[in-house]
Structure 1
């Protein structure tokens, strides 16, 4: 398991890299998102600074690349930072 700060730095360098879903969830939580609900394999997260809902689901053991890019876009749009 990669530390959220290390994963964040790696994703800033290359947003198309493969990320394990477990590490992706750890990064989401470290950014201050709170799990709001689960429906099937879809997990929804909310953040106090964001108006958008972040919905993620695994692709096997990895995170879907478009969802990683979506998270990075939200980080940039809302100025989110790690809580570490």
Structure 2
């Protein structure tokens, strides 16, 4: 299992357990594109051009609901062939 697959598995098994850095690495490895940042919010676009706004929690973790949104979009796009 490669690094990307390990991060996807970690995100799926424990969405609140990813550090914000791991989440950004996962987005980049899955071909998501960082667009811009406004304050603490980073805007990323999926390969199918779906938008996702992310920001870290106070303790530097990824927000679990945002990880779940990413996984949902990723699954939808993979099933549609994007």
Regarding TM over 0.5, the answer is yes
The aligned residue for residue 18 of structure 2 is 19
Asked if residue 55 in structure 1 is aligned to residue 45 in structure 2, the reply is: no
- Shift of the 30–22 alpha-carbon distance from structure 1 to 2, 3 Å rule, reads same
* Structure 1 runs of 4+ with >6 Å offset: none
Query: Contact 2:16–2:63 at 8 Å: present in 1 too?
Result: no
**1:10 aligned onto 2:10:** yes
Q: CA deviation at 1:7?
A: 1.2
In structure 1, list runs of 5 or more residues that go unmatched.
none
TM-score, normalization by structure 2: 0.81
For structure 2, the residue ranges without an aligned partner over 5 or more in a row are none
User: Under a length normalisation based on structure 1, what TM-score does the superposition of the two structures give?
Assistant: 0.79
Q: How many residues were matched structurally?
A: 76
CA distance 1:15–1:76, shift in 2 (3 Å)? farther
Closer, same or farther: CA 15–75 of 1 in aligned 2, 3 Å: farther
Q: Give secondary structure in 2 for the equivalent of 1:62.
A: coil
User: Structure 2: how far apart are the matches of 1:41 and 1:17?
Assistant: 18
